[in-house]
Amino acid sequence: MRPSTAFAAAAIWLAWQAGPVPAQQAQGPCAPDNAGLTLPQGFCARIVAESLGAVRHLVVAPNGDVFAAVRSGQNRPGTVLALRDANRDGMLEVAGRFGPGGGSGIALAGGYLYFALDDAVVRWRWADGQLEPAGAPDTVVSGLLNRRQHAAKTIAVSADGGLYVNIGAPSNSCQVQDRAPGSLGDDPCALLDSAGGIWRFDANRLRQSQADGTRFSTGLRNVVALTWDAGGRALYGVQHGRDDLARLFPQLYTPEQNSEKPAEELFRLEQGGDYGWPYCFYDPELQQKILNPEYGGDGRTVGRCANVRQPLVAFPAHWAPNAMLVYRGTQFPAHYRGGFFVAFHGSWNRVPPQQGFNVAFVPMSGTTPGQWRVFADGFRAEGRNARPTGLAVGPDGSLYVSDDTSGRIFRISHRGN
């Protein structure tokens, strides 16, 4: 090895041992084209990691290390990735790879790293600066309902030791014959006994089963986007709405109406709350919940839906909300603080062109949401196939966005006006 090469290798090794450089120094320049993204004035972006596989949810440690949940893909096993900018070039390198399989949800809380597989939640004891676990994980809960449709589990851990798990319903609208034209709904929907809601477990108790948990909220088809508010006191989520109104009930809905209904709904999730699935959906044209056609709805009837929880925000139909977080950083302008970012994976169930594939922002004043808007767009521009999936905020206040289709992580920063 030539002396210059040996010196460079030694420098990288010393940087690795020292840990990541402080975030405000390591950020590095943004891409000249902002990695193809369209952002508000004063913001810029770059791609900081690539070729990661189906990277789903993210969490950033206080020292700037990024941990990513990766689902299993075709000929590619899932894992947890530990990412660190070891050579201080602004890019994140894979520094560790571990875990019992692929998953979607991930959280750092109370000195533990939690990871949600499709049928279980596990954890490792964790310290800041650690890149790989010392041993096998402990199982917090196993035996979670795991069927092909909406199998991915996402999690949120509360300050008082509650582990909240989204258990998506393995169904579109709880039809007797799922997604069959004209099939009526199971009434009452038996799936709600084990899915279609948020379950609460004890985050510090091991070897629980689903029966050990309590159903915290019900009537939720699939809340992949799940987070706490700025004070850590209230749980919020955005639901994936149902599909196929026009295909299943063409006598009631046109393809154009199917493109705009139902809304994707942002809720404040409360103990014992019923949010209406599968009996109801939110119609953005009528601005209210109405009865699903599987349960006697005719496109206008409210019926039993008068008694279920209404959304705080209604987003466009079929955008597929996959992550949500409250902005607690200080890098972005003040009006972003305490508001929600939502990552939309993008639609498949619209009259072309498909829509979504962006990150939206919802300003919050206490518990009252303001007018939402698209914050980051262009993930799918010019033939690119990026689909936003996970969100996290770094210690410097930058916003990280994962893309589970091309295996990339974007970092969005504010550089002033």
The answer to whether the CB of 154 falls within 8 A of the CB of 226 is: yes
Task: Check whether 346 has a pLDDT greater than 80.
Answer: yes
What integer is the mean pLDDT of 319-330?
97
The answer to whether the CB of 292 falls within 8 A of the CB of 257 is: no
Backbone angles phi, psi at 245, to 5 degrees: -60, -45
Nearest to 33 by CA among 24, 45, 51: 45
The answer to whether the CB of 230 falls within 8 A of the CB of 249 is: no
CA atoms of 55 and 343, how far apart (whole Å):
13
pTM equals 0.92
216-271 pLDDT tens trace: 999 999 999 999 999 999 999 999 999 999 999 999 999 999 999 999 999 999 99
Strand 154-157, strand 197-202: pairing: unpaired
Query: Residues with Cβ < 8 Å from 115, sequence gap 6 or more?
Result: 69, 80, 99, 103, 105, 106, 121, 122, 123, 124, 137
356-409 pLDDT tens trace: 999 999 999 999 999 999 999 999 987 788 999 999 999 999 999 999 999 999
Residue spans of the domains in the chain: they are: 52-335
CATH of domain 52-335: 2.120.10
Q: pLDDT-derived band of residue 153, with 50, 70 and 90 as boundaries? A: very high
392 DSSP 8-state letter: E
CA atoms of 98 and 80, how far apart (whole Å):
5
Q: Residue 75 has what pLDDT?
A: 77
Distances 382 to 344, 356, 369, 401 between C-alpha atoms, Å = 18, 15, 33, 19
The DSSP element (H or E) to which 12 belongs, if any, is helix 3-18
174-211 pLDDT tens trace: 999 999 999 999 999 999 999 999 999 999 999 999 99
Task: Check whether 73 has a pLDDT greater than 90.
Answer: no
Nearest to 411 by CA among 362, 381, 376, 382: 376
The string of DSSP letters for 239-289 reads: EPPP--HHHH-TTT--HHHHHH-SPEEEEEE-TTEE--TTTEEEETTTTEE
2-39 pLDDT tens trace: 333 332 333 333 333 334 434 333 346 799 999 999 99
Q: Residue 381 has what pLDDT?
A: 83
The rounded Cα 185 to chain-centroid distance in angstroms is 28
CA atoms of 227 and 167, how far apart (whole Å):
15
Distances 379 to 30, 153, 358, 372 between C-alpha atoms, Å = 16, 24, 7, 19
